[in-house]
Chains A and B, each alone.
Chain A
C-alpha cells in the first residue's frame, strides 16, 4: 500500500519560551537489548558498537547510539536510514534478547540555557555537568511518567518516553518551561 502513513504521537507540536525550546524528535529505530556479561562483547561486535558498561553512560558510533540502562540492558537507537534492524537481525543466533520498540517510545528534544531547570521541575536527578555530563543517560522520571534521559550536549537533552505518556510529558515540560526563569 502506498499511502499508509506513520503518525508520530507528538507530530506538529512546538514550544519555545525564554531560554527553552521543545521539539519532537524525528522517528528512529529502537531496540531493547538484553544480554548477560559473558555476551556483551560478542553482541557489541555483531551490531558494530562496543556496548557501554559504565552506569549512566552511552556511546554513539556511526549514528548508532547505545544507552546503558542497567547491568544487562541497553537501548539501541538509530535513524531509519542507518539500517539498524538489519544489524539487529544478525543477533538471532546470539544469546541475548533484541526486541523492536521503535514505536513504543517517542522522544522530545529539550534545548536551551534553561533546559536543566525545565527538566529538574520534574526529574529529581542531579543534572549538573559534573554529575550528568554530555553523553550521560538514565532511566528516571518526569513528574508521574517514566522517561529515559540522554544529554546530547550541555544544553540539549533527549527525553524518551512511552508513546501514550508523551502527551503528559510534553505538557509537563511546557508547564515547566513557562516557569523556568528564576
Chain B
C-alpha cells in the first residue's frame, strides 16, 4: 500500500480507513487553511497534513504533539471557534470533529507555536522542581497579591476564556431505563443488544462519533463470521430500530450518582458546520437506570523514559486508530517501544500500511513467539529486553537511543515517529464514582473492579478483559445470553508501570509521567523525599493527575514510582479518588435551560400589566415583581412617593396587595389549631370579624404576622407577609403532620386564588360603595370581613388598614383582578384616587408605627420588644413560643425595644441600619445601644420619621441620643412609634 496524495492531506493511506473520501471539508489551523474528510477529528486531519506539533506544555512550554486518539489526550489541547462568540479553549483535538469552516488554534505559545518565548522555562527546568511555587513565593507576604499571583496567573493556565456571552442554547433530559450501557465497544454493544432483544428498555451511549471502541482501530477481528465493524454497524442499526432502545453517540457518561443516577453529556452540534439554530449545542441526560452496565474499556499508557514527550511520540493504539479508522499515516520510519503485546500488532498494521517499522524495542526479554515470527516474516528488526534511554528532535522526534537491560549495546536509530505502549489501564472511573471498591491485580499491574455499591456490572476492558472473546463473554454473562463468536489476533498482555529505564537522578531528566502538567518521574521522587507519604499529598504537591485529563494516563505511573521510592506495595499507598466529571463538561450543559428568563421564576400579579401601562417602577420581593412607585413625567422617586402618600391621606389610594400570602384553614379543629399557631385568642372571634395575628417560633421570637378573618365557625382566611407565605404554610403543616396528625383541620394555599385590591383613605368608602352587592357596608366596622359580590364578581371584602386610614381590601378571583381594578380606577380617579406602590405603603405604615416583619424585626424580637404584648392571649395556656417567651433572657431588663426617632433637624433622614449611641464623644469602639430599622421622609408629617430598636427604649421617651455617621453624629429624640392620628379616629371613621 502507498500513501496517496489525496486532497485532504498528503499522509492519507490508499485504501485504508473508514471515512468517506467523496468530499473534502476545509478548516484553519493557526490561520492556515487545510482540508479534511467528513468524520476526521482535528487530530487525524492535522496528522494527515503532516502536522504533529500541536501545542506547548503548561510549565516548560515544551513542544508537544498528539499522543492519543481519544478523550484521554493530555497534549493536543486547542482552541476551537465558529465565530467570535462561539469559541471554546482547551478542546481535545482527538475528540473534536472537523466541520467546514472550523477555526482551530494552538494555545499556550507566544508569539508562535514553532518559536515560543516561554520555552526558556525548559532550560531553567532544573530550577523549577515540584513545589517550586510553594517554596518560592512565600515571602514577603505583601508580594503575593501584587507580584506573585499576577505573574503566575499570566504565565500559567491553558488557553484564554471567551469574552462574549455564549449565544448557544443547552438542554436537559431526564430518562429512565432498565439497563444503561456506558460505552459502545464490543462488550457494550453486545450487552445492549442482548438486553434490548429481551424487551428491556435500554440506553446505550458512547463518547465517540462512531460505535465500536477499539474495534475501530482493528482490521482483523471477526464477530459472528463477519468483520467486527460490520457486526458493530448491524448491531447498532438493530438497536436504533427498536422502540425500547435509545442509542446516543457523542455522549459521555461523566458522573455516577446515588441510586443509579448517571449523568451523560451529549454533544449535539459541535461537529456540524451549520447547525439548526433551534438545536441545543449540548444536552445533559440524567438517567435513572435499573442496572448500569459499565463498558468503559481501557486506556493505553505511555512509557516513562527521558524525552518521551516529543511530538510524534504516540500511543501504539492511537497510531493504529489513525491508520485503520482514519486512513492516516503517522510517519515514514516508525520506532516501536512497548511492554505489551498489543503494540506489536499495531506495528504490523502500520508496516503493512506503508509506514515501515524501523525497530521494535520491548522491555520484556520474553515475547510471545508468534509475534517474533510475524516480525521476522515482515522483516522488522526487534530488540526484546531493551529500553529506550533518550530521544532527539526539537519539533518532531528524529531518533531514539536504545540499550540492553544491562546497559550494553547502546545504539541510536533514526526515526520520524515513535509508538509506545506501557499496557492498558482499565477505565474504572465510573465504577469508582459509584463507590465500588477496587482490588489490585499484581500480575498485570492494574486496579480492577471488586465489590459493587450500586446495581452495576463491569464488562469488557474496564473489567480486565484482555481479548475480544473475554469482552464478549462478560457481556453474555451480564445479560444472561449466549456470547457472540469471534476470531481475533490482538491481546493486551504485558505491562510496565513506573519508569522503564530505572532511576534517573539527572537534573535534566525529562521522563514525563503527566504531560499536561509537566510532571516528571523525578518530581514524584522529590515529593516523596520531601515527606509526602500519601499519594493524595504527592498529587497535590506535584500536581500530577490534576490537569483537564485528570491523569487518565499518568496515575498508575505516579503511583508506581511513589511506591518504589517509599519501598511499599502499590495497594498500600492507595489510589487517588475518582470524581465526576470523567471528562470536562461545559457550564452550559450543567445549567442547561436555566439561563436568561428561565434562570428563575418571575412571579407577577393579575394587575401587573396595568401597573406597567401606567409607568410603574417595580422592585423584587422574593420571586415577585411588586409595584414600587408610579412616577409621573418629571418626578423622581421621592416626589412620586410624597405625592402618593399625601393623596392617600387626603383622598384615597389604591394598592395591589395580591402578593400577600393567604391560607384557608378549614375543619372542626380549625379554631383549636389557630389558638396553637398564633399568640392571639381566637375562640371568641366572631364570624365576620378580623384580628391581627402574631406567629412565633418555639424560641419566642416573631416569625410572621397578618390579618386573619373568620368566615365561619370552622373556616379562617389567614393572610401572611408576601415573603413569608411558603414558610408559614410549611411551619403550620409541620405541626399538623408531626404533632397533631389526628386533628380535623386542613390547610390550603389560596395566595393566588385572590387578587387583592387595597383602597385606603377618607374617600375609600365613597369610591367602592356602588360596586358592593349583598353586603351592608354600614354593618362593616374596622376589622371585619364579608362575603358577597363586587362588580358582580364573588368577593371577600375586608375592612382593614395598613395605612391608618379608613380602608378596604377587596379580594376577587384572580382572573377578574385587572378588570375590577380598572372599574375602581375609572370611578375613583376623578375623586382623587391615586395608585401607590410598596414604597408609599412602607411610609404610610411607618407613620402609624405598624411593623414589617423582617424589617423592624430580625428573628430576635419578641412581641413585647415590638410593643405587641397586647396581641398575646393572656389566658392562653399554650401556643407555639409560649415557653420560649419565659426564657430568662427574654424577660430580662435591657432588651431592645421598638421606639420612634425624630431627628433634631427635621430635614435629616437617617440611614436604615445606622447604629445608635448615647454619647457621640466616647472613645471608639463606642457602645452601641440599638439601630434604626425603618427611616423615611414623611410628607404627611412634614419631617423625617424613623423606627428603631433601642435598649430599654420605652423608658427613654424624650431622651436625646446620637447616630454616628461618617461625617458627624446626628442627634435624635426618642418618641412614640405612632406619628399620625394616635387615637385612631381616621380608622374608625
Q: When chains A and B are docked, how far (Å) is the Cα of A100 from the Cα of B793?
A: 14
- Decide: A99 and B750 in contact? CB cutoff 8 A: yes
- A175 and B201: CB pair below 8 A? no
Contact yes or no, B598 A168, CB < 8 A: yes
User: Do B593 and A122 touch (CB < 8 A)?
Assistant: yes
Q: Which residues of A contact B604 (CB under 8 A)?
A: 164, 167
A79 at interface (Cβ–Cβ under 8 A)? Answer: no
- Please indicate the chain B residues that have their CB under 8 angstroms from the CB of A60 in the complex: none
CB contacts under 8 Å to A, within B366-402, are none
Contact B744 A36 (CB under 8 A): yes
Q: Is the CB of A172 within 8 A of B606?
A: no
Do the beta carbons of A162 and B278 come within 8 Å of each other?
A: no
Partner of B752, one of A124, A131, A164, A167: A164
Question: Does A164 lie within 8 Å of B605, measured CB to CB?
Answer: yes
Q: Which residues on B sit within 8 Å (CB–CB) of A6?
A: 815-816, 819
Q: Are A121 and B172 in contact (CB under 8 A)?
A: yes
In the complex, chain A residues 143-162 whose Cβ is within 8 Å of any chain B Cβ: 143-145, 162
Within A1-33, which residues are at the interface with B (CB < 8 Å)? 1-9, 17, 27, 32
Does B111 interact with chain A (Cβ within 8 Å)? Answer: no
Given A95-B744, A101-B748, A162-B752 in contact, is the A4-B819 Cβ separation under 8 Å?
Answer: yes
Do B814 and A104 touch across chains, with their CB atoms under 8 A apart? yes
Contact between A7 and B819, CB atoms less than 8 A apart:
yes
Choose the segment among B147-155, B280-288, B292-300, B760-768 that binds chain A (4+ C-beta atoms closer than 8 Å): B280-288
Compute the total of residue contacts between A and B using a CB distance below 8 Å: 139
How distant is the Cα of A104 from the Cα of B793 in the complex, in angstroms? 16
In the complex where A104-B814, A165-B601 touch, is A144 in contact with B594 (Cβ < 8 A)? yes
Q: Is the CB of B171 within 8 A of A179?
A: yes
Cβ of B668 and Cβ of A34 under 8 Å apart? Answer: no
Chain B residues closer than 8 Å to A143, beta-carbon distance: 593-594, 598
Q: Are B753 and A104 in contact (CB under 8 A)?
A: yes
Whether the pair A17, B278 counts as a contact (CB closer than 8 A) is: yes
Task: Say whether chain A's binding surface is mostly helix, strand, loop, or mixed.
Answer: loop
**A97: chain B residues within 8 A (beta carbon):** 664, 666-667, 745-746, 748
Are A99 and B666 in contact, with the CB atoms below 8 A? Answer: yes
The smallest C-beta distance from A125 to any residue of chain B, in angstroms, reads 8
> Does B602 contact A168, Cβ atoms closer than 8 Å?
yes
Q: Chain A interface: which of B173-181, B214-222, B529-537, B628-636? A: B173-181
Residue of B nearest to A105 (CB): B752
Q: Given the complex, which residues of B lie within 8 Å of A145, measured CB to CB?
A: 601
| Residues of A contacting B176 in the complex (Cβ-Cβ under 8 angstroms) | 126, 128, 131
Q: Does A123 contact B (CB under 8 A)?
A: yes
Q: Which residues of B contact A96 (CB under 8 A)?
A: 746
- A176 to chain B: which residues have CB within 8 Å? 171, 593
Closest Cβ–Cβ distance, residue A167 to chain B (whole Å): 7
A117 x B603 contact (CB < 8 A): no
The reply to whether the CB of A178 lies closer than 8 angstroms to some CB of chain B is yes
* Inter-chain contacts of B667 with A (CB < 8 A): 95, 97
Bound complex: CA A178 to CA B172 (Å): 12
Q: Tell me the bound Cα distance from A37 to B602 in angstroms.
A: 38
Encode A101-120 as 1/0 by CB contact (under 8 A) with B. 11111000000000001001
Residue A59 lies at the interface, judged by CB distance under 8 Å to chain B:
no
Number of interface residues of A (CB under 8 A): 53
Residue of A nearest to B742 (CB): A36
Whether B598 contacts A175 by the Cβ 8 Å rule is yes
CB <8 Å contact, B753 and A4: no
For the complex, is B237 an interface residue (Cβ under 8 Å from A)?
Answer: no
* A165–B745 CA distance with the chains assembled, in angstroms: 27
Does A163 make an interface contact (CB < 8 A)?
A: yes
Q: Closest CB-CB distance, A174 to chain B, in whole Å? A: 10
Instruction: Give the residues in chain B near A124, CB-CB below 8 Å.
Output: 174, 286, 288
Min distance, Cβ A140 to any Cβ of chain B, angstroms: 11
Contact between A1 and B598 (Cβ–Cβ < 8 Å)? no
Is A27 a contact of B815 with CB atoms below 8 Å? Answer: yes
Whether A100 and B603, one on each chain, are in contact in the complex, defined by CB atoms closer than 8 angstroms, is no
Cβ-based interface call for B169 (8 A): yes
For B169, give its contact among A32, A120, A172, A179 (CB under 8 Å): A179
| Most chain A CB inside 10 Å of its own CB: which residue of B169, B594, B601, B664 | B601
Distance to closest chain B CB from A24 (angstroms): 12
Number of residues of chain B lying within 8 A (CB) of chain A: 54
Contact A1 B823 (CB under 8 A): yes
Would A178 and B278 count as touching, CB distance under 8 A? yes
Q: How far is the CB of B712 from chain A (nearest CB, A)?
A: 9
- Give Cα A96–Cα B744 distance, bound, in whole angstroms: 8
List B contacts of A32 (CB < 8 A). 748
Closest A residue to B247 by beta carbon equals: A182
Q: Which of B594, B624, B753 contacts A103 (CB 8 A)?
A: B753
Contacts known (A162-B752, A171-B598); A99 close to B664, Cβ less than 8 A: yes
Task: Report the Cα distance A1→B794, complex, angstroms.
Answer: 12
Chain B residues 268 to 292 lying within 8 A of chain A, measured CB to CB, are 278-280, 283, 286, 288
Contacts A123-B174, A126-B288 hold; do A99 and B820 have CB atoms under 8 A apart?
A: no
Interchain nearest-CB distance for B810 vs A (Å)? 13
List A contacts of B171 (CB < 8 A): 121, 175-176, 179
**CB closest chain-B residue, reference A163:** B752
Shortest Cβ distance from A72 into B: residue = B746
Smallest CB separation, B258 vs chain A (Å): 14
| Residue contact A101 to B750, C-beta cutoff 8 Å | yes
**In the complex, residue of chain A having the shortest beta-carbon distance to the beta carbon of B793:** A4
CA distance A172 to B594 in the complex (A): 9
Distance between B110 CB and nearest chain A CB, rounded to angstroms:
39
- B539 contacts chain A at the CB level, 8 A cutoff: no
In B754-786, the 8 Å CB interface with A consists of: 754, 771
Distance in angstroms between the alpha carbons of A17 and B666 in the assembled complex: 45
CA distance A181 to B171 in the complex (A): 11
Contacts of A5 in B (CB 8 A): 816, 819
- The residues of A that contact B819 with a CB separation of less than 8 Å are 3-7
Q: How long is the Cα–Cα vector from A7 to B605 in the complex, in angstroms? A: 12
Say whether B598 contacts A34, CB under 8 Å.
no
In the docked arrangement, what's the CA distance between A100 and B662, Å? 13
Contact B174 A120, beta carbon cutoff 8 Å: yes
Q: Check B813 against A102 for contact (C-beta < 8 Å).
A: yes
Task: Tell me whether B576 is interfacial, beta carbon within 8 Å.
Answer: no
Contact A4 B283 (CB under 8 A): no
Q: How far is the CB of A13 from chain B (nearest CB, A)?
A: 14
Flag B155-185 by CB within 8 Å of A: 1 or 0 each.
0000000000000010111111000000000
- Name, among A34, A98, A123, the residue most crowded by chain B CB atoms within 10 Å (CB to CB): A34
A101 to B749, CA, bound (A): 9
Q: Tell me the B802-837 residues at the A interface (CB within 8 Å).
A: 813-820, 823
- In A29-55, the 8 Å CB interface with B consists of 32, 34, 36
Residue in A closest to B623 when the chains form the complex, CB atoms: A164
Q: Is the CB of B771 within 8 A of A122?
A: no
The answer to whether A179 and B752 have CB atoms under 8 Å apart is no
**Least CB distance, B146 to chain A, in whole angstroms:** 42
Q: Is the CB of A7 within 8 A of B818?
A: yes
From B817, which residue of chain A is reached at the shortest CB distance? A7
- B791 close to chain A: CB less than 8 A: yes
Q: Measured between alpha carbons, how far is A36 from B606 in the docked complex, in Å?
A: 34
Q: How far is the CB of B586 from chain A (nearest CB, A)?
A: 15
Contact partner of A179 among B246, B278, B746, B817, CB < 8 A? B278
Residues of chain A contacted by B664 (CB below 8 angstroms): 97, 99
Residue ranges of B at the interface with A (Cβ–Cβ < 8 Å): 169, 171-176, 201, 246, 278-280, 283, 286, 288, 593-594, 597-598, 600-606, 624, 664, 666-668, 744-746, 748-754, 771, 791-793, 813-820, 823
Supply 12 further A-B pairs (C-beta < 8 A) apart from A1-B793, A182-B246: A4-B792, A97-B667, A97-B746, A101-B750, A103-B752, A103-B814, A104-B814, A121-B593, A124-B288, A143-B593, A165-B601, A176-B171
22 A-B pairs with CB atoms under 8 Å apart are A7-B606, A9-B815, A72-B746, A95-B667, A97-B664, A97-B748, A103-B752, A103-B813, A104-B752, A105-B752, A121-B173, A121-B174, A128-B201, A143-B594, A162-B752, A164-B601, A164-B604, A171-B597, A171-B598, A176-B593, A179-B278, A179-B280
In order of increasing CB-CB distance, the 8 nearest A-B pairs are: A164-B603, A34-B746, A97-B746, A97-B666, A126-B176, A103-B814, A179-B171, A99-B748
